Structures are given as structure tokens and as C-alpha cells.
Homo-oligomer: A and B are copies of this chain.
Amino acid sequence: MPAASHPFARRIGGLQPSTIREILKVTARPEVISFAGGLPAPELFPVEAVREAADQVLAEGGQGALQYGPSEGYLPLREWIAAELGSRAIHAAASEILVTVGSQQVLDLVGKLFLDPGDVILTENPTYLAAIQAFQVFEATFVPVPTDAQGLVPEALPELIRRHRPKFLYTIPNFQNPTGITLSAARRQTLARIAAEHRLAVVEDDPYGKLRYRGTDIAPVKHWDEAGQVLYASTFSKTIAPGLRLGWVAAPAELFCRLLVLKQAADLHTSSFDQRVAHRYLTSNPQAPHLERIRHAYGERYAVMDQALGCELPAGFTWTRPEGGMFLWVSGPAELDSLKLLERSIAENVAFVPGRDFFPAEGGCNHFRLNFSNSSPERIREGVRRLGAICRSL
């Protein structure tokens, strides 16, 4: 077929298949120790409990579970989510919860809600790669917010708002992807205050909040949101399983109505079946012990990786010490080319994601992201051993 056969298709600058997903294809071979993906540990999925839930849902209300449903989502699930948000110090009514196809879809809907070509978004730098992709579809311009070990610096926002007139701030306050950094409690409160004062919409993405393995929970930015400026997105991908593709956004009423229309236009609604299976699972099984198992396993894997990095990486390499989540972030010497490091690592059957693609604005190539949730402690030790040997030989 001639390359010019579709001359009318849009050329979206920078939008390419995710490096991660391309790497994942290479690393599907079982002999590869992959720290690349963002996969939860499948051996912790509650397969039998989901199986029972699916069976009961179809036995007791199969026709409803397989029929079209409301674009808002399955009401009992929305009610469950609203109640659960209470445990996160968020007060949201079920009527403010929109169920989505993973929290990734929230980013797509938010992009549609706010973005015209060239519009500015404020983000951490680096930030979640698939958020960059989602917003690039709408031809957004990314402006980084200064960050340090406590997360983004809210005091920098007023000047950025004045200069760039951003449509919103996108932030991952808990165990950020890719850095693992957590925004401090004081900064969350300051951020909410500044957002209210400047009428800055905040998209708070919290996929990992329930995965804290040390330290104590910090209330979300949404907790401080009296002005209705914060859209809070989360997901069941890490607490039940990602294959069900169930996420949600808690949105102020004014924005909820518009997101709902966009959801309807995007796919009518999220799977009726998956929503009911999740709801049945959640109401039939205590969540605390299940989450405790995940946190324990991820905490152990993090500790093994942290210790192994300490033993194996040469001087000049540093890394973050997250208190939860699935990732940590390694920074090498300024001259490190993490793409070349990846090539050599893959030859040794170890994979990770080079840092470059996580930077929507400027950012060095001397970083890379390591996932610790999807490998056993033994494989983490062995993978870091190989990685360390390569780094020491550079």
C-alpha cells in the first residue's frame, strides 16, 4: 500500500508506541529478568476469589451483567468506591465517581475535557510515560514543575501559572512513577491552597496509594480540596488485578457531568461484567489481609533490590528509596547513556526502562527506572548482580 494512501490522517508530533511496551515484547522470553514493565505480581492476584465472584454474578444476575449499563458505571461499585475513598480521607459521593477503563482512561477523558492544541500542562519531570502519551494525542505542551526529594515544589506554581496559563497540573503524589518519590503532607496542603487561589485544576493520579510498605499514609491533595479543583484518579489494577481494566475518577460535580458525556462518546461504558465481578469480589472478601500480603511482598522485594543495588552499583550511581509502589529510579553519572546500557543489559537477559522517555521536557539520559513488584527476590538479586557488573565495566 502506498505510504500516501491516507494523506488526511493527523500527524501527531512525538506520539510513538511506548518504549516500555516495545521492550516488554523483547522481554517476554522467560529467561529475561525484567525490571522494565509496571506489572503487579500475578501470583498475588486473588484468582480463586475472582472466579467465585464471576460465577455468582452470572448465576444470580447474568442477564444484567451482560447487558448495556449506565455510562457512569455500576452504581453499587460507585457506592463501594465512594465509601472506600473515606478511608483515604476523601469525601466524595457515589454521584461524583465515574468508572473508567483503568485509570489510564481518566487521562484520555481529562485530555479531551481540557486540551486544545498547544495548551500547557504542568507535570513533574520525569513523569508517567503513558500520561505523556495520553496528553500528546491532544497536542499538549509540557512545562515541568521544579521537584526535589519531597516531590514537586508548590511554591513554584504561582509564577508558572502566571507565565504559562496551564490548563491543569498532572501529579502522582504517592510513590511517583517513575521516581518513587512521595509528595510531603505539608506540600499537599499548600498545593490545594494554591490551586484554589489560582483556580488551577489538579489531576491527582493515585494508582499506588494502597501499596505503602513503610511509613504512614498521607492524605491526598483531594482531601484538602474545598474549592472543587482536584480530579482524583485511582484504579483496581494494583489492588485486585489490571486485566479487569477498572479505574475511576472522583470529580467535582461540574466537571463530572462533562466527563460523563466524554465517557459516553468514548466507549458508552466500562464492562458491566467486570464491574459486577469486582463489586462482588470486594464485598465478599475482606480487603485488609489481601492488601497486607501485597504490601509485604512488595516491601520485601524493594528491600532486596535496595540492598542489592548498594552491593553491586559502582560509585556515581544513586537511587531513590520509595516507601511504597512498584518502582525506584536510578541516576548514573552525567555521561551515562541508559539506552546503550539497556542494549548491553538485554544481551545479559536483564531489562529496565531508560529514563529519557519519562521526561516530557528537558531531562538527562543518565537515569533509568527499575520495577521490583514483578520479580521474585532471587531474580531481583541475580538481575541486579548482572546489571551491576555491566555498570562497573562502563
Q: Is the CB of A8 within 8 A of B114?
A: yes
If A50-B58, A58-B47, A71-B21 touch, whether A199 touches B5 (CB-CB below 8 Å) is yes
Q: List 23 A-B contacts (CB under 8 A).
A: A5-B228, A6-B201, A6-B255, A10-B114, A17-B257, A18-B264, A43-B63, A47-B66, A50-B62, A51-B55, A66-B241, A101-B266, A104-B266, A107-B265, A133-B261, A134-B265, A134-B266, A136-B265, A242-B272, A243-B273, A244-B272, A245-B268, A273-B277
> How far is it, in angstroms, between the C-alpha of A262 and the C-alpha of B47 when the chains are bound?
30
Q: Is the CB of A45 within 8 A of B68?
A: no
A366 at the interface (CB under 8 A from B): no
Q: Is the CB of B134 within 8 A of A254?
A: no
Q: Considering the complex, which residues of chain A in the window 8-37 have a beta carbon less than 8 Å from any beta carbon of chain B?
A: 8-10, 15-18, 21, 37
Q: Which B residue's beta carbon lies closest to that of A62?
A: B47
Specify which of B242, B261, B272 is in contact with A243 (CB 8 Å cutoff).
B272
Specify which of B50, B133, B267 is in contact with A101 (CB 8 Å cutoff).
B267
If A1-B228, A199-B7 touch, whether A37 touches B113 (CB-CB below 8 Å) is no
> How far is it, in angstroms, between the C-alpha of A266 and the C-alpha of B262 when the chains are bound?
12
Q: Is the CB of A67 within 8 A of B270?
A: no
A144 at the interface (CB under 8 A from B): no
> How far is it, in angstroms, between the C-alpha of A272 and the C-alpha of B117 when the chains are bound?
33
A260 at the interface (CB under 8 A from B): yes
If A252-B1, A265-B130 touch, whether A45 touches B66 (CB-CB below 8 Å) is yes
Q: Considering the complex, which residues of chain A in the window 214-272 have a beta carbon less than 8 Å from any beta carbon of chain B?
A: 227-229, 237, 240-245, 252-255, 257-258, 260-262, 264-272
> How far is it, in angstroms, between the C-alpha of A228 and the C-alpha of B112 when the chains are bound?
29
Q: Which residues of A does B touch, CB under 8 Å?
A: 1, 3-10, 15-18, 21, 37-40, 42-43, 45, 47-48, 50-51, 54-55, 58-59, 62-71, 100-102, 104-105, 107-108, 112-117, 130, 133-134, 136-137, 167-168, 199, 201, 227-229, 237, 240-245, 252-255, 257-258, 260-262, 264-274, 277
Q: Is the CB of B274 within 8 A of A271?
A: yes
Q: Which B residue's beta carbon lies closest to that of A266?
A: B108
> How far is it, in angstroms, between the C-alpha of A37 and the C-alpha of B66 when the chains are bound?
16
Q: Is the CB of A113 within 8 A of B242?
A: no
> How far is it, in angstroms, between the C-alpha of A38 and the C-alpha of B67 when the chains are bound?
11
Q: Is the CB of B227 within 8 A of A243?
A: no
If A42-B67, A63-B45, A243-B272 touch, whether A137 touches B262 (CB-CB below 8 Å) is yes
If A1-B228, A8-B168, A254-B1 touch, whether A245 touches B269 (CB-CB below 8 Å) is yes
Q: Is the CB of B267 within 8 A of A9?
A: no
> How far is it, in angstroms, between the C-alpha of A37 and the C-alpha of B7 when the chains are bound?
38
Q: Which residues does chain B contribute within 8 Å of A271, judged by CB atoms?
A: 101, 243-245, 271, 274
Q: Is the CB of A267 within 8 A of B105?
A: yes
Q: Which residues does chain B contribute within 8 Å of A43, judged by CB atoms?
A: 63
If A252-B1, A264-B130 touch, whether A67 touches B55 (CB-CB below 8 Å) is no
- Give the Cβ gap from A340 to chain B, nearest Cβ, in Å: 25
> How far is it, in angstroms, between the C-alpha of A269 and the C-alpha of B130 when the chains are bound?
12
